[in-house]
Amino acid sequence: MKSAVILISGRGSNMQALVEAQPGLDFRAVISNRPAAGGLPWAASRGIETRVVDHKAHPSRESFDAALAQAVDAFAPDYLFLAGFMRILTEGFIHRYPRSILNIHPSLLPSFPGLDTHRRAMEAGVKLHGATVHFVTPALDHGPILVQAAVPVLEGDTEDALAARVLAQEHRIYPQAARWLAAGRVEFRGADVVQVRGSGVAGDWAIAPRDPP
Ligand code: GAR
Protein backbone atom coordinates (compact mmCIF):
# COMPACT_ATOMS: atom_id res chain seq x y z
CA MET A 1 0.00 0.00 0.00
CA LYS A 2 1.25 3.50 -0.84
CA SER A 3 1.72 5.84 2.09
CA ALA A 4 1.02 9.50 2.75
CA VAL A 5 1.58 12.34 5.18
CA ILE A 6 -0.98 15.15 5.52
CA LEU A 7 0.08 18.75 6.20
CA ILE A 8 -2.43 21.07 7.84
CA SER A 9 -2.58 24.53 9.38
CA GLY A 10 -6.10 24.67 10.79
CA ARG A 11 -9.34 22.83 11.38
CA GLY A 12 -8.45 20.02 8.99
CA SER A 13 -11.82 19.17 7.50
CA ASN A 14 -10.13 18.05 4.27
CA MET A 15 -7.75 15.91 6.32
CA GLN A 16 -10.77 14.28 7.98
CA ALA A 17 -12.41 13.67 4.62
CA LEU A 18 -9.22 12.03 3.33
CA VAL A 19 -8.80 9.77 6.36
CA GLU A 20 -12.47 8.82 6.69
CA ALA A 21 -12.73 7.91 3.01
CA GLN A 22 -10.15 5.14 3.51
CA PRO A 23 -8.84 5.62 -0.02
CA GLY A 24 -6.33 2.80 0.21
CA LEU A 25 -3.39 4.88 1.45
CA ASP A 26 -1.48 4.40 4.69
CA PHE A 27 -1.74 7.82 6.37
CA ARG A 28 1.38 7.75 8.51
CA ALA A 29 1.27 11.21 10.05
CA VAL A 30 -0.38 14.60 10.20
CA ILE A 31 2.02 17.53 10.52
CA SER A 32 0.98 21.10 11.33
CA ASN A 33 2.90 24.36 11.20
CA ARG A 34 0.55 25.69 13.91
CA PRO A 35 0.57 24.10 17.38
CA ALA A 36 -3.10 25.05 17.90
CA ALA A 37 -4.39 23.54 14.65
CA GLY A 38 -7.81 22.06 15.38
CA GLY A 39 -7.11 19.06 13.18
CA LEU A 40 -4.28 17.73 15.36
CA PRO A 41 -6.39 16.31 18.23
CA TRP A 42 -8.75 14.74 15.73
CA ALA A 43 -5.86 12.97 13.95
CA ALA A 44 -4.44 11.78 17.28
CA SER A 45 -7.86 10.46 18.27
CA ARG A 46 -7.75 8.31 15.14
CA GLY A 47 -4.40 6.85 16.14
CA ILE A 48 -2.45 8.83 13.55
CA GLU A 49 0.96 10.20 14.55
CA THR A 50 0.99 13.99 14.84
CA ARG A 51 3.87 16.44 14.71
CA VAL A 52 4.20 20.21 14.93
CA VAL A 53 6.85 22.14 13.03
CA ASP A 54 6.12 25.67 14.18
CA HIS A 55 6.99 28.19 11.47
CA LYS A 56 7.31 30.88 14.15
CA ALA A 57 10.31 29.05 15.60
CA HIS A 58 12.21 29.49 12.33
CA PRO A 59 13.94 32.63 11.10
CA SER A 60 13.53 31.85 7.38
CA ARG A 61 11.45 29.82 4.96
CA GLU A 62 14.53 27.74 4.20
CA SER A 63 15.06 26.75 7.81
CA PHE A 64 11.36 26.00 8.33
CA ASP A 65 11.27 23.87 5.18
CA ALA A 66 14.41 21.99 6.25
CA ALA A 67 12.76 21.13 9.58
CA LEU A 68 9.53 20.21 7.81
CA ALA A 69 11.41 17.92 5.40
CA GLN A 70 13.08 16.21 8.33
CA ALA A 71 9.71 15.61 10.00
CA VAL A 72 8.20 14.32 6.75
CA ASP A 73 11.15 12.08 5.87
CA ALA A 74 10.90 10.28 9.21
CA PHE A 75 7.67 8.75 7.85
CA ALA A 76 9.04 8.10 4.32
CA PRO A 77 5.69 8.77 2.59
CA ASP A 78 4.96 8.23 -1.10
CA TYR A 79 2.67 11.28 -1.13
CA LEU A 80 2.24 14.53 0.73
CA PHE A 81 -1.28 15.97 0.91
CA LEU A 82 -1.54 19.67 1.69
CA ALA A 83 -4.93 20.09 3.36
CA GLY A 84 -5.45 23.71 4.27
CA PHE A 85 -1.68 24.06 4.72
CA MET A 86 -1.20 27.81 4.56
CA ARG A 87 2.55 28.13 4.00
CA ILE A 88 4.33 28.82 0.74
CA LEU A 89 6.91 26.08 0.26
CA THR A 90 10.39 26.76 -1.10
CA GLU A 91 11.51 25.38 -4.45
CA GLY A 92 14.04 23.25 -2.63
CA PHE A 93 11.31 21.54 -0.62
CA ILE A 94 9.08 21.02 -3.65
CA HIS A 95 11.88 19.52 -5.76
CA ARG A 96 12.64 17.06 -2.96
CA TYR A 97 9.27 15.34 -3.57
CA PRO A 98 8.76 15.41 -7.36
CA ARG A 99 5.20 14.64 -8.53
CA SER A 100 4.37 13.64 -4.97
CA ILE A 101 2.87 16.76 -3.36
CA LEU A 102 -0.87 17.35 -3.77
CA ASN A 103 -2.81 20.45 -2.83
CA ILE A 104 -6.48 21.34 -2.65
CA HIS A 105 -7.33 24.89 -3.58
CA PRO A 106 -10.74 26.55 -3.22
CA SER A 107 -11.17 27.83 -6.78
CA LEU A 108 -11.25 26.61 -10.35
CA LEU A 109 -7.57 27.16 -11.10
CA PRO A 110 -6.00 28.90 -12.90
CA SER A 111 -8.65 31.41 -11.80
CA PHE A 112 -8.17 32.90 -8.34
CA PRO A 113 -4.87 31.53 -7.03
CA GLY A 114 -3.92 32.80 -3.59
CA LEU A 115 -6.22 33.85 -0.77
CA ASP A 116 -9.84 35.05 -0.38
CA THR A 117 -10.94 33.04 -3.38
CA HIS A 118 -14.67 33.06 -2.61
CA ARG A 119 -14.86 36.82 -2.13
CA ARG A 120 -12.81 37.42 -5.27
CA ALA A 121 -14.99 35.04 -7.30
CA MET A 122 -18.11 36.91 -6.19
CA GLU A 123 -16.54 40.28 -6.95
CA ALA A 124 -15.52 39.08 -10.40
CA GLY A 125 -19.10 38.03 -11.08
CA VAL A 126 -18.23 34.51 -12.21
CA LYS A 127 -21.20 32.16 -12.47
CA LEU A 128 -19.21 29.00 -11.78
CA HIS A 129 -16.71 28.58 -8.97
CA GLY A 130 -15.26 25.47 -7.38
CA ALA A 131 -12.24 23.58 -6.15
CA THR A 132 -9.11 22.06 -7.66
CA VAL A 133 -6.78 19.25 -6.64
CA HIS A 134 -3.38 19.71 -8.26
CA PHE A 135 0.22 18.61 -8.02
CA VAL A 136 2.40 21.22 -6.36
CA THR A 137 5.11 22.90 -8.43
CA PRO A 138 7.13 26.01 -7.61
CA ALA A 139 4.54 28.17 -9.43
CA LEU A 140 2.11 28.99 -6.63
CA ASP A 141 -1.30 27.34 -7.15
CA HIS A 142 -0.47 26.45 -10.76
CA GLY A 143 0.64 22.81 -10.83
CA PRO A 144 -0.81 20.04 -13.02
CA ILE A 145 -4.52 19.59 -12.34
CA LEU A 146 -5.77 16.19 -11.19
CA VAL A 147 -9.46 16.90 -10.60
CA GLN A 148 -11.83 19.84 -10.31
CA ALA A 149 -15.43 20.32 -9.24
CA ALA A 150 -17.61 23.28 -10.14
CA VAL A 151 -20.53 24.79 -8.25
CA PRO A 152 -22.87 27.58 -9.33
CA VAL A 153 -22.65 31.05 -7.83
CA LEU A 154 -26.26 31.79 -6.91
CA GLU A 155 -28.23 34.99 -6.67
CA GLY A 156 -28.08 36.29 -3.11
CA ASP A 157 -25.04 34.15 -2.24
CA THR A 158 -22.90 35.18 0.69
CA GLU A 159 -19.22 34.42 0.88
CA ASP A 160 -19.95 31.85 3.61
CA ALA A 161 -22.69 30.13 1.64
CA LEU A 162 -20.46 29.89 -1.42
CA ALA A 163 -17.52 28.66 0.67
CA ALA A 164 -19.69 25.92 2.18
CA ARG A 165 -20.89 24.82 -1.28
CA VAL A 166 -17.28 24.62 -2.48
CA LEU A 167 -16.08 22.86 0.69
CA ALA A 168 -18.62 20.07 0.21
CA GLN A 169 -17.03 19.44 -3.20
CA GLU A 170 -13.52 19.62 -1.72
CA HIS A 171 -14.50 16.81 0.64
CA ARG A 172 -15.58 14.75 -2.36
CA ILE A 173 -12.73 15.34 -4.83
CA TYR A 174 -9.72 15.15 -2.49
CA PRO A 175 -10.57 11.58 -1.40
CA GLN A 176 -11.32 10.80 -5.05
CA ALA A 177 -7.84 11.98 -6.01
CA ALA A 178 -6.36 9.90 -3.18
CA ARG A 179 -8.17 6.78 -4.43
CA TRP A 180 -6.81 7.33 -7.94
CA LEU A 181 -3.27 7.73 -6.62
CA ALA A 182 -3.63 4.68 -4.41
CA ALA A 183 -4.78 2.65 -7.39
CA GLY A 184 -1.87 3.85 -9.55
CA ARG A 185 -4.22 5.31 -12.15
CA VAL A 186 -2.67 8.79 -12.37
CA GLU A 187 -0.46 9.44 -15.39
CA PHE A 188 1.48 12.48 -16.52
CA ARG A 189 1.26 13.60 -20.14
CA GLY A 190 4.33 15.75 -20.37
CA ALA A 191 5.15 18.08 -17.52
CA ASP A 192 1.82 19.85 -17.18
CA VAL A 193 -1.08 17.57 -17.99
CA VAL A 194 -2.36 14.77 -15.80
CA GLN A 195 -4.78 12.07 -16.87
CA VAL A 196 -6.58 9.47 -14.82
CA ARG A 197 -6.89 6.11 -16.52
CA GLY A 198 -10.48 4.96 -16.83
CA SER A 199 -12.10 7.97 -15.16
CA GLY A 200 -15.50 9.04 -16.41
CA VAL A 201 -18.15 11.57 -15.57
CA ALA A 202 -21.13 10.58 -13.48
CA GLY A 203 -24.55 12.17 -13.78
CA ASP A 204 -25.39 15.56 -15.25
CA TRP A 205 -22.09 17.10 -16.25
CA ALA A 206 -23.52 20.39 -17.47
CA ILE A 207 -23.32 22.57 -14.37
CA ALA A 208 -25.01 25.86 -15.12
CA PRO A 209 -27.52 28.07 -13.38
CA ARG A 210 -30.91 27.96 -15.08
CA ASP A 211 -34.54 28.67 -14.37
CA PRO A 212 -36.34 25.88 -12.56
CA PRO A 213 -38.85 23.95 -14.70
C1 GAR B 1 -9.96 24.66 2.41
O2 GAR B 1 -11.03 25.35 1.82
C3 GAR B 1 -8.80 24.58 1.44
O4 GAR B 1 -9.20 24.44 0.11
C5 GAR B 1 -8.14 25.90 1.67
O6 GAR B 1 -8.21 26.14 3.04
C7 GAR B 1 -9.36 25.46 3.56
C8 GAR B 1 -8.88 24.57 4.68
O9 GAR B 1 -9.96 23.97 5.34
N10 GAR B 1 -6.80 25.89 1.19
C11 GAR B 1 -6.18 26.95 0.69
O12 GAR B 1 -6.70 28.05 0.61
C13 GAR B 1 -4.77 26.69 0.23
N14 GAR B 1 -4.25 27.84 -0.45
P15 GAR B 1 -9.73 22.66 6.19
O16 GAR B 1 -8.60 22.96 7.18
O17 GAR B 1 -11.04 22.48 6.90
O18 GAR B 1 -9.40 21.55 5.26
Both 9 and 53 in one domain: the answer is: yes
Rounded Cα gap, residues 60 and 71, in angstroms: 17
Q: What is the pLDDT along the chain (213 residues), one digit of tens a residue?
A: 999 999 999 999 999 999 999 999 999 999 999 999 999 999 999 999 999 999 999 999 999 999 999 999 999 999 999 999 999 999 999 999 999 999 999 999 999 999 999 999 999 999 999 999 999 999 999 999 999 999 999 999 999 999 999 999 999 999 999 999 999 999 999 999 999 999 888 777 788 888 888
CA of 58 to the centre of ligand 1 (A): 23
Q: Which of 71, 97, 123 is the last residue of a domain?
A: 97
- pLDDT at residue 114 in the model: 97
Both 108 and 213 in one domain: the answer is: yes
Both 118 and 204 in one domain: the answer is: yes
Both 23 and 88 in one domain: the answer is: yes
Residue 4 in 3-state DSSP? strand
Whether ligand 1 lies within 6 angstroms of the CB of 130 is answered as no
Whether ligand 1 lies within 6 angstroms of the CB of 65 is answered as no
Whether ligand 1 lies within 6 angstroms of the CB of 147 is answered as no
Both 120 and 82 in one domain: the answer is: no
Both 93 and 111 in one domain: the answer is: no
DSSP per residue over 45-107, as a string?
HTT-EEEE--GGG-SSHHHHHHHHHHHHHTT--SEEEESS---PPPHHHHHHSTTTEEEEESS
Which of 6, 8, 13, 171 is the best mutation target for the ligand 1 pocket, counting ligand atoms within 8 Å of the beta carbon and taking the most?
Answer: 13
Q: Which of 81, 97, 113 is the last residue of a domain?
A: 97
- pLDDT at residue 172 in the model: 98
Both 35 and 128 in one domain: the answer is: no
- pLDDT at residue 206 in the model: 81
Q: Do residues 181 and 152 lie in contact, with contact meaning Cβ atoms separated by under 8 Å? A: no
Both 132 and 203 in one domain: the answer is: yes
Both 158 and 135 in one domain: the answer is: yes
State the burial class of residue 187 (Cβ atoms within 10 Å of its Cβ: 0-12, 13-18, 19+): exposed
Both 67 and 27 in one domain: the answer is: yes
Both 15 and 90 in one domain: the answer is: yes
Write out the residue range of the structural domain in which residue 43 sits.
1-97
Question: Which protein residue has the closest C-alpha to ligand 1 atom 2?
Answer: 106
CATH number at residue 112: 3.40.50.170
Fill in the amino acid letter for 47. G
For residue 190, count other CB atoms closer than 10 A to its CB.
Answer: 7
- pLDDT at residue 19 in the model: 98
Total structural domains within the chain: 2
Which of 170, 171, 174 is the best mutation target for the ligand 1 pocket, counting ligand atoms within 8 Å of the beta carbon and taking the most?
Answer: 170
Both 32 and 137 in one domain: the answer is: no
- Ligand 1, residue 85: give the atom nearest the CA: 13
- pLDDT at residue 201 in the model: 82
- pLDDT at residue 23 in the model: 98
